[in-house]
Amino acid sequence: MSLRDERKQQSRQALLDAALTLSSEGGRSFGTISLREVAREAGLVPTAFYRHFQDMDELGADLVDYVSGTLHRLRMSLREGFTLSSFNTASMTRGSVERFFMAITKQPNHWAFLVRERWGGSVVVRRAIDKEVRFFSVDMAEDLQKLPAFNALELQDLSIISEILVNLSFSWAMTWITLPLFDEETPLAEQQEQLIQRATHQAQLLNRGASNWQSKSERIDAKIAVNLP
């Protein structure tokens, strides 16, 4: 890469980082941020913006693509957790929740952006995030199907479970990020442990419900097979 190309890449990254900072740390919707604000935050003149992006919509779509790397890394981490847990459901659930919160701690701005902008004011950004979330949900459903506790469920049912887990995860993520704001008297580490336990319990209840649904379906199928009323 030439020096010119390297500087161009640095300027582009500076604009992405500036938009992320303004929307996550500033607590503002991406749709309310102006091109001039992003350029100023990046230390560039407004005209430099157009060397990299056509408009704020293109910047927003590229920013979603950039921060969605967080989701892909989390998916790989969860898959690793499935292997290490040897399919022990209890330890796998707790371990998966811990890995999830660890990912948030490493890149809180990325998660704050994804959570806020999933229902934010920019249509382009909302659609881009929705696309990434759907990809993540599909991959999660396929991973769940490989586990003994879920392998008898139809992929359609697993997709619904995945969607519920993703929605819960977004709620957990924002709670984790804002924990110090809720209770200034309780140590942060204690608040985090309480949230880990609550999230783990919620996930376990969901897993138990899926297992009960599976058992009920099997009983209904058995009755039909022997022509019982």
- The whole-angstrom distance between residue 229's C-alpha and the CA centroid of its chain comes to 45
Please state, in angstroms and rounded to a whole number, the distance separating the CA atoms of residues 49 and 56. 9
68-225: which CATH topology?
Answer: Tetracycline Repressor; domain 2 (1.10.357)
Asked if 179 contacts 112 with a C-beta cutoff of 8 angstroms, the reply is no
Q: Amino acid identity, residue 74?
A: L
Domain boundaries, the chain: 3-65, 68-225
Q: Which CATH class is domain 3-65?
A: mainly alpha
56-91 CB burial, b ≥16 within 10 A, e <16: bbebbbbbbebbbebbeebbeebeebbeebeeebee
**For residues 20 and 52, what is the distance between their CA atoms, to the nearest angstrom?**
16
pLDDT tens series, the chain, 229 aa? 677 778 889 999 999 999 999 988 777 889 999 999 999 999 999 999 999 999 999 999 999 999 998 888 888 877 776 554 444 566 678 888 999 999 999 999 999 999 999 988 789 999 999 999 999 899 888 888 887 777 778 888 888 888 998 999 999 999 999 887 767 788 999 999 999 999 999 988 887 777 676 544 444 443 444 344 4
The set of residues, in sequence order, having a beta carbon less than 8 Å from that of 29 and lying 6+ positions away, is 23, 116, 117, 120, 121, 122
